[in-house]
């Protein structure tokens, strides 16, 4: 182990949640050797046995729901009501992953002349999973569950901001029956992640996080094309409001899209596009009034807050700086609630006519853009290098059909929050939002590779053309 130390703290109190040494990159050789040994045995176990272990994990997660949620709240600052839902998704991921594996990476065969054509799938080997801080159990589990079900071994590096949550996730899998060498945890920051990504013992990298880190992984593996890489990155997501009679409902959907999880979801709306004039102003006024009612507080406050702090003081300062760099007019200013803690009020800034940076501001900061007409609204929505999520709030179905066909995003929602996504659907998008390997239901695709076979029960074959007598 190295001499460096990783410490996670409760964003609301500053109290230490977990403290321990960071992994020494030089120790990765041993980790990989154990993982390879574990893979050889785990991948040969019948699929039904791996299913049974996964289902045992789901039952453990259900039984320890409140314990999971409390730790998540302590380490991320998210309200308890919200972390309870994350605990539920951790358990729920198993059955979805089993179904997805059977549907997308299962086995099938067909009769052909002289035998059969068979398609099956095999695990890659040892996969690195690098997790984020915002959903420190749910999002890495979205890689880990399908990877283990497919027969891979996993080396998991949780975010250095939420190591305790990652360690609990791994502990539950092991308690369910996953051998220690099949799921190992490496604690560390960027240095550990880089060493893990480029290690020759890794067959693939599954990453959820920001675009800068995703690009770094892509560059680091430029000369290792043999590794499967799945990058689930962020978004500068548009939410268009057009032809809506109920401005109050629109405001609630906007708040749920932009400010849930203190804006720390990759699918959060970052840019609100409304019509110029009275119709747009009604929506903005209703939104401002609702923002004033948002309760920001600690996870276990009663009554429960809508949102907690951002993850740490550095993130809070980054958002304050980003607001200053936007220009425009602050309708509701993002500001600190306490100087010594990362609690922020929700920000709403009118940037109409301003060349705002096309970046993901990962927090409760929403830009307003007023569009002269529908075509201008579509153009504004697509004016981004990202392509994760887009939403339309409208009472006009024809308007939605047009929006759906023209919005450049992998998730396109109608009269629902941009943060809403079905577990039975893929999650990802084009542009800087990833590398065209969507996760969630489609995670089965990158956790195994296809093997196409032509098979016959015996060697019964003769060349009939082109041979001399």
Our answer to whether residue 232 is catalytic in this structure is yes
Angle between helical axes of 374-381 and 397-406 (0-180°, round to 10): 40
C-beta of residue 181 within 8 angstroms of C-beta of residue 152: no
Query: Which residue in this structure is represented by tokens 């994990």?
Result: 57
| 241: phi then psi, degrees, rounded to nearest 5 | -115, 120
C-beta of residue 69 within 8 angstroms of C-beta of residue 84: yes
Structure-token pair, residue 91? 């358990």
Q: Single out the catalytic residue among 232, 281, 360, 375.
A: 232
CA dist., res. 375 & res. 354, Å (int): 18
Q: Give the max Cα distance, the chain.
A: 94
C-beta of residue 79 within 8 angstroms of C-beta of residue 305: yes
| 100: phi then psi, degrees, rounded to nearest 5 | -65, -40
C-beta of residue 73 within 8 angstroms of C-beta of residue 168: no
C-beta of residue 74 within 8 angstroms of C-beta of residue 417: no
Burial class (CB in 10 A: 0-12, 13-18, 19+), 314: exposed
What strands, in cross-sheet order, belong to the sheet with 153-157? 183-185, 153-157, 126-130, 204-208, 228-232
Structure-token pair, residue 453? 């076979």
CA dist., res. 143 & res. 140, Å (int): 5
Q: Give the HSE-up count for residue 233: Cα atoms under 13 Å, Cβ half-sphere.
A: 30
Handedness of CA 177, 155, 6, 210 (dihedral sign): negative
Distances (CA, A) of 180 to 53, 106, 155, 173, 256: 13, 26, 11, 9, 40
Where do runs of H (alpha helix) occur along 327-394?
374-381
CA dist., res. 337 & res. 77, Å (int): 15
Burial call 242-267: b when 16+ CB within 10 Å, e when fewer: bebeebeebbebbbbbbbbbbbbbbb
Which residues are marked as active site?
A: 232
């Amino acid at each position: 182990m190295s001499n460096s130390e990783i410490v996670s703290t409760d964003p609301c109190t500053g109290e230490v949640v977990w403290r321990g040494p960071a992994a020494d990159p030089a120790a990765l050789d041993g980790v990989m050797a154990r993982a390879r040994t574990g893979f050889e045995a785990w991948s040969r176990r019948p699929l039904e046995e791996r299913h049974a272990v996964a289902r045992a994990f789901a039952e453990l997660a259900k039984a320890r729901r409140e314990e999971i949620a409390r730790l998540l709240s302590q380490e991320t600052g998210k309200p308890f009501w919200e972390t309870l839902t994350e605990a539920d998704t951790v358990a729920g991921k198993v059955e979805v992953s089993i179904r997805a594996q059977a549907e997308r990476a299962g086995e099938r065969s067909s009769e052909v002349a002289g035998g059969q054509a068979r398609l099956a799938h095999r695990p890659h080997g040892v996969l690195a999973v690098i997790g984020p801080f915002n959903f420190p159990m749910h999002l890495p589990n979205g890689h880990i569950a399908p990877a283990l079900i497919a027969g891979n071994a996993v080396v998991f590096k949780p975010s250095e901001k939420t190591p305790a949550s990652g360690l609990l996730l791994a502990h539950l899998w092991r308690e369910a029956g996953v051998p220690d060498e099949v799921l190992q945890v490496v604690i560390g920051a960027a240095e550990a992640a880089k060493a893990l990504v480029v290690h020759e013992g890794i067959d693939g990298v599954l990453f959820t996080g920001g675009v800068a880190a995703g690009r770094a992984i892509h560059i680091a593996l430029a000369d290792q094309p043999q590794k499967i890489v799945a990058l689930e990155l962020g978004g500068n997501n548009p939410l268009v409001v057009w032809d809506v009679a109920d401005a109050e409902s629109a405001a609630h959907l906007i708040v749920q899209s932009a400010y849930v999880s203190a804006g720390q979801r990759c699918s959060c709306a970052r840019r609100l596009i409304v019509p110029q004039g009275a119709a747009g102003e009604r929506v903005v006024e209703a939104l401002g009034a609702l923002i004033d009612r948002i309760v920001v507080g600690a996870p276990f406050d009663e009554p429960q807050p809508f949102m907690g702090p951002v993850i740490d003081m550095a993130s809070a300062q980054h958002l304050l700086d980003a607001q200053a760099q936007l220009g425009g007019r602050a309708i509701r200013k993002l500001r600190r609630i306490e100087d010594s803690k990362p609690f922020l009020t929700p920000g709403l800034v009118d940037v109409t006519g301003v060349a705002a940076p096309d970046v993901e501001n990962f927090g409760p900061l929403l830009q307003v853009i007023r569009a002269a007409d529908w075509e201008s609204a579509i153009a504004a929505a697509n004016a981004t290098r990202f392509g994760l999520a887009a939403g339309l709030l409208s009472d006009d179905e024809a308007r939605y059909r047009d929006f759906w066909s023209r919005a450049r995003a992998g998730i396109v929602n109608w009269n629902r929050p941009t943060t809403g996504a079905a577990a039975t659907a893929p999650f990802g998008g084009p542009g800087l939002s990833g590398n065209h390997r969507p996760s969630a239901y489609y995670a089965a695709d990158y956790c195994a590779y296809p093997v196409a076979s032509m098979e016959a029960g015996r060697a019964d074959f003769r060349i009939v053309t082109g041979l001399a007598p």
